[in-house]
């Protein structure tokens, strides 16, 4: 502990205080203590050498800043559902689970649904203790991941979703993690645990929203287990401000003949990292990962995506798009592994980037690691500005450059947005990106 006190005194003090105030369970306390000890050993990933996973993303602006954890659960109710419902995707038929500054808000949540069990993790520790104890931390391991270790050390609350087979219809679960700004320089550690039982169908939406212009640090961990023949549509939406630091760790385990589809959308954030790993550990499993982000100013976006085919007859599609302006930077690391046993694998990955500025930069590294003989695999990456010939054609048809650029950028983004199957969510995303594009166009025209 002496090492952590010296290197990260605020985290040490917050951990000590949280240990005194949060509910205690022997098995959970052991998980937390082991994770904290591991975080103390690993420290934040600030090394510039021998640190391939973070080669293009500098973590020091986060490590060197003092963030405070909201230990007490008795924070004032500074916001209501009316304050946020226009800022987040929502629908009357969805199941909402709302957290403000890391704390569950029962007054803003509605957890009654058929075919799916939804509650806060603090409730699940009591009501579903055997399930939580079996699955928590099994995919998001702390052995070599300091961010997962830090999140687990502060494991107190979060979202628990259990999708049961035999539901009458597909259930939409809307998880909202909101930073209010009531605590300056706040750090939160959102946690999500999803268990999709065999033959179940469900939709999970993760939302990360900031209501403040002040700096905050979101360090989230999501674990999703998709059992045999289950089908999950998953959306991850990070809409925070340009002083936010967002680190997201997502781990998915798929069983035989399961289908997992996920789309990631990001706007804002000074530094944002989407660390998403999927293990296809069953014959005939199918995975689709899509992503879209828009960066401006000096924002930095890092997508670190991994798909591991461990069993035969698997299918995966990885398709990400980025729109970059000003001096913003992006990183795409897409790794697809096909193990020797995973014959008949069909895996494709694509990364496309639209650069609106000569100073914008993207580092794209799509990779295939194939150890099987009978596979169909491929990858590709592109990066470049708006095509001059296309722009000339649209100008010749009477469109000014700003209007033409806006149409082209919207169409570029629309290829990912159109993959969203939920109409309320698709409309929300389309409007949010449409509002962001004019400012990008304005800055684009200044270069």
The number of distinct structural domains making up the chain is: 1
Q: Which helix (H) or strand (E) holds 162?
A: strand 159-163
Place of tokens 């409309």: 427
Nearest of 320, 232, 201, 337 to residue 277 by alpha carbon: 337
pLDDT digits (tens, 9 = 90+) for 414-435: 999 999 999 999 999 999 999 9
Mean pLDDT across the stretch 109-138?
A: 87
pLDDT digits (tens, 9 = 90+) for 250-262: 999 999 999 999 9
Q: Which domain holds residue 128?
A: 2-281
**Does the residue 42 lie in any domain?**
yes
Burial label for 53, CB within 10 Å (0-12, 13-18, 19+), is: middle
Q: Using an 8 Å Cβ cutoff, are 319 and 347 in contact?
A: no
Q: How confident is the model at residue 181 (pLDDT cuts 50, 70, 90)?
A: confident
Residues 6+ apart with CB under 8 A from 177: 99, 102, 188, 190, 206, 207, 208, 209, 218, 220
Q: Is the pLDDT of residue 2 over 50?
A: no
The distance from CA 289 to its chain's CA centroid, rounded to whole angstroms, is 12
- CA 431 – CA 408 distance, rounded (Å): 16
Q: Which is more confidently placed, 273 or 168?
A: 273
Q: How confident is the model at residue 402 (pLDDT cuts 50, 70, 90)?
A: confident
Place of tokens 């001059």: 388
Task: Give the lowest-confidence range in 105-109, 198-202, 348-352, 442-446.
Answer: 442-446
- Rounded to the nearest integer, the mean pLDDT of the chain is 91
Q: Which two tokens stand for residue 256?
A: 């035989």
Nearest of 336, 333, 361, 360 to residue 346 by alpha carbon: 336
**Does the residue 276 lie in any domain?**
yes
**Does the residue 190 lie in any domain?**
yes
**Does the residue 261 lie in any domain?**
yes
């Amino acid at each position: 502990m002496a090492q952590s006190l010296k290197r990260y005194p605020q985290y040490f003090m917050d951990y000590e205080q949280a240990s005194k105030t949060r509910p205690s369970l022997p098995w959970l306390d052991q998980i937390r203590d082991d994770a904290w000890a591991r975080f103390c050993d690993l420290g934040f990933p600030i090394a510039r050498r021998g640190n391939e996973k973070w080669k293009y993303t500098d973590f020091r602006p986060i490590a060197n800043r003092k963030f405070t954890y909201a230990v007490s659960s008795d924070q004032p109710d500074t916001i209501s559902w009316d304050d946020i419902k226009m800022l987040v995707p929502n629908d009357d038929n969805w199941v909402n689970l709302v957290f403000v500054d890391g704390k569950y808000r029962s007054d803003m949540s509605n957890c009654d649904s058929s075919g799916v069990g939804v509650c806060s993790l603090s409730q699940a520790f009591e009501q579903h203790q055997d399930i939580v104890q079996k699955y928590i931390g099994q995919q998001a391991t702390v052995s070599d991941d300091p961010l997962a270790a830090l999140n687990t050390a502060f494991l107190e609350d979060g979202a628990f979703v259990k999708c049961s087979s035999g539901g009458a219809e597909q259930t939409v679960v809307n998880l909202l993690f909101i930073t209010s700004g009531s605590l300056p320089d706040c750090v939160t550690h959102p946690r999500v645990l999803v268990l999709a039982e065999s033959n179940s169908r469900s939709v999970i939406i993760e939302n990360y929203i900031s209501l403040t212009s002040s700096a905050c640090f979101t360090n989230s961990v999501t674990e999703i287990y998709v059992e045999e023949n289950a089908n999950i549509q998953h959306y991850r939406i990070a809409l925070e401000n340009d002083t936010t630091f967002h680190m997201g760790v997502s781990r998915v385990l798929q069983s035989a003949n399961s289908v997992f589809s996920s789309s990631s959308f990001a706007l804002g954030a000074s530094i944002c990292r989407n660390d998403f790993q999927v293990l296809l550990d069953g014959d005939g499993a199918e995975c689709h990962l899509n992503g879209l982000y828009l960066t401006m100013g000096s924002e930095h976006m890092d997508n670190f995506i991994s798909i591991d085919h461990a069993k035969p007859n698997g299918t995966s599609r990885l398709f990400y798009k980025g729109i970059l302006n000003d001096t913003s930077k992006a990183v795409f690391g897409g790794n697809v592994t096909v193990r020797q046993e995973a014959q008949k694998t069909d895996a494709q990955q694509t990364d496309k980037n639209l650069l609106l500025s000569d100073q914008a930069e993207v580092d794209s590294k799509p990779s295939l690691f194939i150890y099987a003989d009978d596979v169909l695999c491929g990858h590709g990456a592109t990066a470049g500005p708006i095509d001059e010939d296309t722009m000339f054609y649209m100008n010749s048809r009477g469109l000014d450059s700003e209007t033409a650029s806006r149409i082209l950028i919207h169409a570029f983004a629309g290829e990912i947005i159109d993959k969203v199957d939920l109409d309320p969510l698709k409309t929300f995303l389309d409007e949010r990106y449409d509002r962001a594009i004019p400012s990008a166009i304005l800055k684009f025209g200044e270069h």
